[in-house]
Amino acid sequence: MKALLLAAAALVAAPASAATTAIVGGTVAIGDGSGPIPNGTVIFTDGRIVAAGARVPVPAGATVIDAHGKWVSAGMVAGLSTLGLADSEGVEESNDVSAGKSPFNAAIDISPAINPNSIILNNERWGGVTSALVSPATAGSIFAGQGAVITLGVGPDPILRPRAFQYVEMGEDGAAAAGGSRPAAYAMLHDALAEAQDYRRSPAAFGGREKDSLIKRPDAQALLAVLDGKQPLLVHVERASDIRSILALKKDYPQLKLVLVGAEEGWLAAHDIAAAHVPVIAAALVDLPESFERVAATESNVGRMEQAGVTVALSTVDASAPGSQRNLKQFAGNLVAITKIPGSTGLDWGHAFASITSGPAVVMGMDGEIGSLRPGRRADVVIWDGDPLELASAPVAVFIDGQPQPQSSRQSELRDRYMNPEDGALPKAYQR
């Protein structure tokens, strides 16, 4: 079957641009919250989904891929990541995630720094991640700068939406960045937004180039999009009281398009979050009081928030392990698992899968573009050898924008080289 799939993929790769692909017979997971559809069909053409579901007719002339016994789903959308910003986060020289010595903060725009050739992107892609929110991290200010939404498809231009959001720290980390307290973080936030308004009123009169100015000119300029609600403001907070304080910002700045990040105590304020129509990019599965702002952390957080009507996307935020986005499916699977534990609140399969596909897309207002197999979306499609949320399952084919993606990686080449550890006729360096 794998050979068949590969052959089919090669066919699709042929330059016939108007070719239509039909993946038939598999269990289809659309990614919009609906449950898996047995024996479904997914049709895409010119890089866009045409149809997906049961009883979808296969157009004449379509390249047919047989996926019986397999699952066909929307690709995962990483809820919040640093993909493409570092070859190895621990190798400082390769790491563009934060810039502690820069005079700028809100102005920082990560989109020109994304490296689509990073081996990490390759591994994540082959793990079923097809697009991602990518964020800078803070260093020396509560503002980290502007993140982007990227595609993981092979190609020179990874950016789907540059300057897609602004990221700000407002909990314990924000307090530390602002000089030592949460009130100082609020003072910094209000001042920065006030300066942005000053800049708007009179760009010519606005300074922001002095060495000691609190807000630099480009930072003030960048925050206008936040003030106008044209750019979502992602706010990392965990404690229930911090969440409520952030929701209250809408009184002063009614246009703000808030998104909560982390929100481990969100379940204690779930109805307020829902009433404010603020979505959450949640720290999945975190269940320990790793700091005083997270004493009420529980794996039921996501389920309880969603039950209250909050839109939730999963992320590796606050996960202590290295942030492999391909493990988001494991997080989602665990949220299904806890539905069997008395007292726990989890998600049903469809909503769990949506939390790693359409969920992040909805948060960004991009669910018309990515995150599901509904008609018109980018054809980011993964064929899995089983239930994608299961630990043992992995992709057997990945299409991004309708294009079949490479099936090897640096990791698979290392594996093949060391399948037998002993040296051969020549050293390992000659084996590839």
Partner 1 sequence: MIHTLVRASKAAVTASTCLALMACTASAPPPATASKAPAPGAGHGYDHDPYPSTYHPYPGVPTLLTNVTVYDGEGGRIDHGAVLFADGRIVQIGQDIAPPAGATVIDGTGKWVTPGVIDIHSHLGDYPSPGVKALSDGNEATAPVTSEVWAEHSVWPQDPGFSRALANGGVTTLEILPGSANLFGGRSVVLKNVYARTVQGMKFPGAPYGLKMACGENPKRVYGSKGREPSTRMGNIAVDRQTWAKAVEYKRKWDKYEKDGGDPPARDLAMDTLAGVLAGEILVQNHCYRADEMANVIDMSKEFGYHVTAFHHAVEAYKIADLLKANGICAAVWADWYGFKMESYDGIPENLALLQKEGTCAMIHSDDQNGIQRLNQEVAKAQAAGRRAGIDIPDEVAWEWLSINPAKALGIADRTGSLKPGKMADVVLWNGNPLSVYSRPEKVWIDGAMLYDAYNPKLRPVSDFELGQPGSGDVK
Interaction site with partner 1 (CB under 8 A):
88-91, 119-120, 123, 240, 265, 268, 285-292, 294-300, 319-322, 324, 327, 330, 333-334, 336-338, 340-344, 389-394, 411-412, 414-415, 418-419, 421-422
Instruction: Choose between 264 and 367: whose C-beta lies nearer to partner 1.
Output: 264
Instruction: Choose between 141 and 298: whose C-beta lies nearer to partner 1.
Output: 298
Instruction: Choose between 109 and 287: whose C-beta lies nearer to partner 1.
Output: 287
Is beta strand 20-29 parallel, antiparallel or unpaired with respect to 63-66?
parallel
CB of 177 to partner 1, least distance (A): 17
CB of 196 to partner 1, least distance (A): 35
CB of 343 to partner 1, least distance (A): 4
Instruction: Choose between 17 and 320: whose C-beta lies nearer to partner 1.
Output: 320
Instruction: Choose between 124 and 380: whose C-beta lies nearer to partner 1.
Output: 124
- Compute φ and ψ for 389, nearest 5 degrees: -80, -10
CB of 143 to partner 1, least distance (A): 25
CB of 416 to partner 1, least distance (A): 8
CB of 73 to partner 1, least distance (A): 15
Instruction: Choose between 150 and 379: whose C-beta lies nearer to partner 1.
Output: 150
CB of 281 to partner 1, least distance (A): 18
Name the one residue in this structure whose structure tokens are 């493990």. Answer: 327
- Tokens coding 93: 């020289």
CB of 15 to partner 1, least distance (A): 31
Instruction: Choose between 346 and 402: whose C-beta lies nearer to partner 1.
Output: 346
Report the candidate in 110, 124, 112 with the shortest Cα–Cα distance to residue 322: 124
Instruction: Choose between 281 and 283: whose C-beta lies nearer to partner 1.
Output: 283
Instruction: Choose between 158 and 395: whose C-beta lies nearer to partner 1.
Output: 395
Read off the amino acid at residue 62. Answer: A
CB of 253 to partner 1, least distance (A): 29
